[in-house]
Structure 1
Amino acid sequence: MTHLPQAAHALQRTTTSIISRIRAGFAATLTIAVIASLGACGTAGTSANGLTKTTFMLSWAPDTNHIGVYVAKHNGYFKRAGLDVDIVAVAQAGAEQSVNNGVADFALSNLTNVSTYSLKGATLKQVLQVQRKPSAIWCSLASNTSITRPRDFDGKTFATFGTNESDAVIKQMIQTDGGKGQFDKVTVGTSTFQTLSSGKADFGGFYATWEGVQADMYGPKLNCFTEPDYGVPGNADSIGIITNSKTIKNNPKLVKAFTQAAQQGYEYAYAHPDKAAQILVDEAPEANLKLAFVKRSMHVIVDGQYWGNPKDIASGKLVFGTNDTVSTQQYFDFLANAGAYTDASGKVVRTAPKAKNLVTDRFLAQ
């Protein structure tokens, strides 16, 4: 068994179940009955200082995907927009269900999750897209010399969070590389790092911008492969901010104020990665994040242009936060063809949701 350094253990506690949160880990349990039984009451109100109170829910422990919201709060963007924003930990039911039920007004999610929930009766919309290209990496330990390419996953054990989506992705990558697409699975109990290091599985999913950085800085070293290189189309990681369609209808001023302040926060973080990293560490002390680690994560994001081409953003060619429905639709179609979508009763849905119906750019500052 490979033992992780102490620093990596501390970081690992903040990254447990990242893939399951972002990649629709809870969506399979959501039913229309649950949605109908909980009203979208909303959390907005007025604080003692006259600001409008609103709630943003994390989708896992604080990390650089959330950084723009922390920056917006720290730098006073929310306050200047008339908002008193409470950043809250993810609920057991998940961020998407919490927003759909009105427990939180906004949350970090991604458009793939929104599409999955839409087939189960949810009324979510993504109002700001942060990430514009995939960051998922599918890896084995570098010490496992039997795996040198995706087709070597054939016959091996996948450390999974149990989603149809991940199965479809791995099968496609293996088959594109000339393999059969057949593998065993074990459900991750604590973290994918620990599952691989214990020998219970041979490969699993991570993110290049977070766990990939962790592995590079603290170990264990990984051997990784990316989806676009092996036949998976579009953008699976369209990370962004979601709200409820009812909130958009009933309180558009709130949605506009929050969206534009968060947009400003992410733009600042993209232009000032080191300063933003310090803000995240200071504003989320409960996460026990290492400053050097967060800085490295931000530089991987900037250098890899995961949030868009900085020159295009600076010139106005790309409005930061604009929802990309082209690459996300390509991914939705892939999932539908693979039989990865199901409705509230568990029946396979072969027609992909329409990405254009699940987003709105109307609240972004142009």
Structure 2
Amino acid sequence: MKKFKKIIALLLALSLVCAFAACSKTNSDDASDDTTKELKDVTLCLDWTPNTNHTGFYVALQKGYYKDAGLNVSIVQPPENGATEACSAGQAQFAIDAQDTIASAFTSATPMQVTAVAALLQHNTSCVMSKKGAGIDSPKGLEGKTYLTWDSPIELAMLENVVKADGGDWSKVKRIPNTVTDEAQDVKQNPDHAIWVFDGWGGVNAQVNNVEVDRFFFKDLNPTFDYYTPILIANNDLIKNDPETVKAFLSATKKGYEYAIENPDEAAQILIDGDDTGSLKGSEELVKASQKYMVDQYVADAPKWGYIDPARWNAFYNWLGEEKIVEEKIPENTGFTNDYLA
């Protein structure tokens, strides 16, 4: 696909015209034409359907923080080939990704033209979840059990690392494709299954549905795996040519996340009301419970919202290079900046 990037970019430009028009939430929906003309158009492409990772954006939109910053922001769903591709091609000024999944963007022959400008969560909430009492409360417990995998090289390398460190035999872990949409119900019905989930959604969903589970967290087993997920990325041309827009967007977004921290119930409702995809319908209890979980995750122990610790960022990419999981070693301090945070 990357060899035909120019062709893809053209196709993407055509497809996103329709996709962005049909699947967007904008702060100019109720604004007059005169007002809209004074605002700078900015598009944010999500990585998935709306969830509590994204709440601050929807709050900033609904509360008028973007408008106050001189921005007309549209929030859209990712195209088929991903949010990062759209951002790199200039079809979206900002997008959501994660440090692990974006690693290849900095090592390919045609690297993506994006840079991480903020962390949406300060710590990696990834964990492996299984039915409580099934014996998979530690990595070694995966021996003889079934792990549902996305078959990502980074994912599997991390699992192998923690299983071996725990004295387990990675070759004895059965792997099948992960096609599950409700992880809590899957492990409840299949006691031999273990699934990678993000605790703020998958783990909270288990609690909401009274499914008792065991979990082990990657960041607790290996500090190198406390990488940043998810992250906000920006188009490199925008950063170079219009840094004031980057600063304005981040400042308004920061206000949105800070409001969500102080007002989780109202913020959750704003997210639910702002969801144009319908994916949150019927999940109001989960959204509100997840939002309360996120209160301690958005800033946590960081000096400010969005901050990316260079040591942690570099440690993970150094590990990818040492394990030869990426095509070539990623130089330190590649792919992120804190320069535009308020």
1:75 — aligned with what? 63
1:330 — aligned with what? 315
1:107 to 91, 95, 100: 95
2:86 to 98, 112, 118: 98
The amino acid of 2:337's aligned partner reads T
Taking the TM superposition and a 5 Å limit, the aligned residue runs for 1:237-256 are 237-256=228-247
- Contact kept, 8 Å, 1:159 with 1:201, in 2: the verdict is no
2:288 to 291, 295, 307: 295
- Contact kept, 8 Å, 2:52 with 2:290, in 1: the verdict is yes
- Contact kept, 8 Å, 1:111 with 1:239, in 2: the verdict is yes
1:160 — aligned with what? 149
The amino acid of 1:178's aligned partner reads G
In structure 1, how many angstroms separate the alpha carbons of the residues matched to 2:212 and 2:6?
Answer: 42
Taking the TM superposition and a 5 Å limit, the aligned residue runs for 1:61-72 are 61-72=49-60
Q: Which moved more, 1:192-201 or 1:49-58?
A: 192-201
SS, match of residue 210 in structure 1: helix
1:53 — aligned with what? 41
SS, match of residue 265 in structure 1: helix
Q: Which residues of structure 1 form unaligned runs of 5+? A: 1-29, 313-317, 343-348
- Contact kept, 8 Å, 2:163 with 2:169, in 1: the verdict is yes
Q: Which residues of structure 2 form unaligned runs of 5+? A: 21-27
- Contact kept, 8 Å, 1:172 with 1:232, in 2: the verdict is no
- Contact kept, 8 Å, 1:301 with 1:307, in 2: the verdict is yes
1:15 — aligned with what? none
**CA shift at 1:190, angstroms?**
4.1
The amino acid of 1:297's aligned partner reads S
- Contact kept, 8 Å, 1:137 with 1:224, in 2: the verdict is yes
In structure 1, how many angstroms separate the alpha carbons of the residues matched to 2:233 and 2:6?
Answer: 17
- What TM-score do you get using the length of structure 2 for normalisation? 0.83
In structure 2, how many angstroms separate the alpha carbons of the residues matched to 1:158 and 1:234?
Answer: 19
- Contact kept, 8 Å, 2:131 with 2:191, in 1: the verdict is no
1:4 — aligned with what? none
Distance 1:237 1:364, change over 3 A: closer
Distance 1:181 1:338, change over 3 A: farther
The amino acid of 2:322's aligned partner reads N
The amino acid of 1:217's aligned partner reads V
**CA shift at 1:196, angstroms?**
4.4
**CA shift at 1:338, angstroms?**
2.8
Q: Which moved more, 1:190-199 or 1:270-279?
A: 190-199
In structure 1, how many angstroms separate the alpha carbons of the residues matched to 2:66 and 2:214?
Answer: 41
SS, match of residue 256 in structure 1: helix
In structure 2, how many angstroms separate the alpha carbons of the residues matched to 1:83 and 1:358?
Answer: 25
In structure 1, how many angstroms separate the alpha carbons of the residues matched to 2:57 and 2:89?
Answer: 22
1:151 — aligned with what? 140
* C-alpha distance after superposition, 1:211-260 (max 9, x if no partner): 10001111543211011332352423332211111121233232222121
1:141 and 2:131 are equivalent in the alignment: yes
- Contact kept, 8 Å, 1:62 with 1:284, in 2: the verdict is yes
1:208 to 199, 204, 216: 199
1:171 — aligned with what? 160
Q: Which moved more, 1:286-295 or 1:180-189?
A: 286-295
- Contact kept, 8 Å, 2:131 with 2:212, in 1: the verdict is yes
**CA shift at 1:36, angstroms?**
7.5
In structure 1, how many angstroms separate the alpha carbons of the residues matched to 2:57 and 2:310?
Answer: 23
- What TM-score do you get using the length of structure 1 for normalisation? 0.78
SS, match of residue 129 in structure 2: strand
Q: Which moved more, 1:151-160 or 1:163-172?
A: 151-160
1:231 to 222, 226, 229: 222
In structure 1, how many angstroms separate the alpha carbons of the residues matched to 2:262 and 2:116?
Answer: 23
1:38 and 2:9 are equivalent in the alignment: yes
In structure 2, how many angstroms separate the alpha carbons of the residues matched to 1:105 and 1:234?
Answer: 28
- Contact kept, 8 Å, 1:172 with 1:230, in 2: the verdict is no
2:266 — aligned with what? 275
2:330 — aligned with what? 352
The amino acid of 1:113's aligned partner reads T
**Percent of residue pairs bearing the same amino acid type:** 26
The amino acid of 1:160's aligned partner reads T
In structure 1, how many angstroms separate the alpha carbons of the residues matched to 2:177 and 2:212?
Answer: 22
Distance 1:325 1:201, change over 3 A: farther
* C-alpha distance after superposition, 1:298-346 (max 9, x if no partner): 22222xx322337x7xxxxx1321222211221222222333223xxxx
In structure 1, how many angstroms separate the alpha carbons of the residues matched to 2:252 and 2:3?
Answer: 33
2:76 — aligned with what? 88
Q: Which moved more, 1:318-327 or 1:168-177?
A: 318-327
1:118 — aligned with what? 106
- Contact kept, 8 Å, 1:108 with 1:241, in 2: the verdict is yes
In structure 2, how many angstroms separate the alpha carbons of the residues matched to 1:53 and 1:357?
Answer: 28
Please give the root-mean-square deviation of Cα atoms over the aligned residues, in Å. Answer: 2.7
- Contact kept, 8 Å, 2:200 with 2:293, in 1: the verdict is yes
**CA shift at 1:197, angstroms?**
5.5
In structure 2, how many angstroms separate the alpha carbons of the residues matched to 1:179 and 1:187?
Answer: 21
How many residue pairs were aligned? 317
Distance 1:204 1:257, change over 3 A: same
